[in-house]
Amino acid sequence: MSRKKVSPSDFRSLAPSVPAAQISGFLEYSGWDLVEQRDGLLEYWRDPVAHRPEEGHVYFLPLNSTMRDYDRRFREFLAELADHFGDTPSQLIRRINEISWDRLLFRMTHVEHDESAGLFRASETLSAGMKMLELSALYTANPRRRSWGGNRSALVRYYLAEDVRLAHTERGSFVFPILSRIRQDSGPDTPFGREVVTNLSRALERISQWPEEERAPGEETLAFDAALARALSPLGHLGQLESLTISFQWAPVHGLPQHVPRHSLDFSTPRIQAISTLAQSPSMPSFDIPGIVHAPGRRTVTATRAVPSRSRVSGPVIAWGMDDRNRERGESSTFVFLRTSFGDVRMTVSEEEYDFALQAREDGRAVTAVGRLVERDGVSTLVGHIDRGGSKFLSKSPGS
């Protein structure tokens, strides 16, 4: 019996979860042929199994959400794509997402070994996973930070709010997949979300080895590692939790990162308790050196500092001015703020770039800049340059 075709109406609730640009990247990654495109308006794609131009169905992907009947046309495209792959609507969305989302899998094994788990234990496991991602985002944005609570930069807030999700639970005990988005507008450099998960995986591998390491009093532990160990410690006191296994699946759209664990990290309850004990110092930690906590009884942990994310950002100029404090750092005193997909980003610019940015604002054009996204004085800051060839006209001038 042939499979029933998917109806466009089946995508009514799911369509908003996948931007058209993400689908375009998925088709390109999957080897589809881009037959025709009109920048910012539409694209025509052909099934890669078609060996001759006259073969294969051509799929129309609308890009401009302001165009007439956009929602209907977009849902029709998704329904056709689902039929092509033989997917249900939810299966197609997952297929598209898988190439641009890193996955953290938290697998709970509990003493009862039955078909249910205590709601409190499940909640604590998810809370620990979210806390560890938050700590890694804070560390990635500013590796030399001294505290792990309170203020977050706009970059970190945006990442946690927009680029972290919980996927459907998977079969096999209780597996909670947490997704971290790989944004494809970062150019050739490592996206912020990928750096966050990479740093988290390396740190978790380090602390998983603590119980077997030789201990030498007075040696150093990376403050980030100690903070992660403290986030993990509540899971060592959940009673019926036997073990927690953490594994990583890397989005193929950005390749496999180097020096990350290639195996699952197993944290039995006794191991979590041992790590928690080792993370505690008999006296209050000393933060003489930013990022390093001196804890008697811990062996030196060698770790590579997180490299601030290098990105391409684009958006309208929303603020501008002069700041003489920049001169103390040997920089230009002029600056602009861009409203980007990463939130509001501050950038120190030369006088020529300053004039260019203000002219772009007056003309109703977005400004594109390339550089390293860092956290400076609690503000997301781009250290780089303006790409004068990358500005595009906005549909509406800022401030109008």
Give helix then strand counts, H and E, for the chain: 10, 16
Residues 132 and 247 in one domain: yes
Whether pLDDT at 375 is above 60? yes
Q: Are residues 72 and 166 in the same domain?
A: no
Structural domains counted in the chain:
3
Q: Looking at the structure, do residues 109 and 252 belong to the same domain, yes or no?
A: yes
pTM over cut 0.95: no
3-class SS of residue 143: coil
Q: 272 with 320, same domain?
A: no
pLDDT of residue 287: 34
**What was the pLDDT predicted at 335?**
92
316 shares a domain with 174: no
344 is a domain residue = yes
**Average pLDDT over all residues of the chain:** 79
Which parts of 157-240 are beta strand (E)? 164-166, 174-181, 220-222
> What pLDDT sits at residue 306?
41
Q: Is residue 396 part of a domain?
A: no
Are 148 and 177 in the same domain? yes
Q: Is residue 163 domain-shared with residue 26, that is, in the same domain?
A: no
Over range 106-129, report the average pLDDT: 80
Q: Are residues 270 and 289 in the same domain?
A: yes
Q: Could you tell me the CA-to-CA distances from 287 to 233, 276, 293 in Å, in that order?
A: 22, 20, 6
Whether residue 312 is predicted with pLDDT greater than 60 in this model: the reply is yes
Q: At what angle do helices 223-232 and 269-279 cross, to 10 degrees?
A: 140
User: What is the per-residue pLDDT for 288?
Assistant: 36
Question: What are phi and psi for residue 142, nearest 5 degrees?
Answer: -155, 90
Tens digits of residue pLDDT in 262-283: 889 999 999 999 998 888 753 3
- Among 294, 321, 339, the domain-final residue is 294
Residue that finishes a domain, picked among 98, 121, 141: 98
CB-CB neighbours of 221 under 10 Å: 25
pLDDT in tens, 26-61: 888 888 888 988 877 889 999 877 545 555 688 999
Cα gap 349→385, rounded to integer Å = 7
Stretch 145-159: mean pLDDT: 79
* pLDDT in the model for residue 104: 92
> Is residue 302 included in any domain, yes or no?
no
Residue 74 to residues 28, 46, 81, 226, 242, Cα–Cα distance (Å): 18, 16, 11, 47, 46
- Does 397 fall in a domain? no
pLDDT category, 259, cuts 50, 70, 90? Answer: confident
Instruction: Considering only residues 337 and 148, tell me which one the structure prediction assigns the higher pLDDT.
Output: 337
Q: Over 60: is that where the pLDDT of 291 sits? A: no
Rounded average pLDDT over 130-147: 87
- Output 309 or 6, whichever has higher pLDDT: 6
Residues 122 and 271 in one domain: yes
C-beta separation of 60 from 74 below 8 A:
no
* 45 found inside a domain: yes
Question: CA–CA distance from 324 to each of 318, 343, 347 (Å)?
Answer: 20, 24, 14
Q: What is the domain-level CATH number for residue 356?
A: 2.40.50.140
Whole domain around residue 15: which residue ranges? 8-98
Let me know if residue 260 belongs to a domain.
Answer: yes
65/84 Cα distance (integer angstroms): 24
User: Is 300 inside a domain boundary?
Assistant: no
Residues 225 and 161 in one domain: yes
Task: Tell me what percent of the residues of the chain surpass a pLDDT of 90.
Answer: 26
User: Is there a domain that residue 226 lies in?
Assistant: yes
Among 98, 128, 154, the domain-final residue is: 98
pLDDT at site 400: 39
Q: Are residues 233 and 279 in the same domain?
A: yes
Closest by CA to 235, choosing from 148, 110, 103, is: 110
pLDDT confidence of 203, banded at 50, 70, 90?
very high
pLDDT of res. 173: 59
Q: Give yes or no: residues 315 and 224 share one domain.
A: no
| Per-residue pLDDT at 112 | 64
Q: What is the mean pLDDT of residues 160-184?
A: 81
